[in-house]
Amino acid sequence: MHNDIKKALEVLHAGGVILYPTDTIWGIGCDATNPEAVKKVYEIKNRVDSKAMLVLMENPNRLNSYIDEVPEIAWDLIDTNDQPMTLIYPGAKNLAANLISSDGTIGIRITNEEFTQNLIQRFKKPIVSTSANRSGELSPANFYEISDEIKEAVDYIVEYRQEEMEKCKASSIIKIGLGGEIQIIRP
């Protein structure tokens, strides 16, 4: 794992794109603050940049660096949740502009998975996490379901956890508002 983190960090710092395991499904990722790197991910996915992607962070204490005002309900959801959960926050800031939705929101998931926690902690910035498939195709449930087209398009493929065959699922997605509003996008 340590060698993978070292190589992934080199690619992220250079503005490249990685294919990596997350706390849910395998993801395509890059520096969430680098608009050129984000553009590469959209191109790999053959996806329009008006369809936002989420970012991973390793620690909820970093939310204030990327969200204008974290709604109080977010802290309750983070504290009580024991499954991967993506929260869509209003007032995104300090992220690549082409990553933020037109309404100013951004989806953020706090990861509890060892590899991504270590990677993000050492990178000191959030990273993009989007499913490792072309837009419109089914999300791969494990590494072996990822197409060769995706594998060839990224700059680095993490070796850690490639052999795992269990079918993983995507996170729940909840949109939250400053007034405590909650909208469940994906249970």
Q: How many residues does the chain have?
A: 187
pLDDT tens by residue, 141-163? 889 999 999 999 999 999 999 99
> For residues 47 and 161, which has the higher predicted lDDT (pLDDT)?
161
Residues 126-145 have a mean pLDDT of 91
Reported in sequence order, the residue ranges of 103-171 that DSSP labels E, i.e. its strands, are 106-110, 127-131, 156-157
- Of 158, 157, 163, the C-alpha closest to 142 is 163
Is the dihedral angle over the CA atoms 128, 133, 138, 143 positive or is it negative?
negative
CA distance 87 to 78: 9
How much is the pLDDT for 66?
Answer: 98
Residue ranges of domains in the chain: 2-186
Residues 130-134 have a mean pLDDT of 92
**pTM of structure:** 0.93
Say what percent of the chain tops pLDDT 90.
80
Confidence of residue 50 (pLDDT cuts 50, 70, 90): low
2-186 CATH choice from 3.90.870.10, 2.60.40.10, 3.40.640.10, 3.20.20.70: 3.90.870.10
- Of 113, 114, 64, 119, the C-alpha closest to 89 is 64
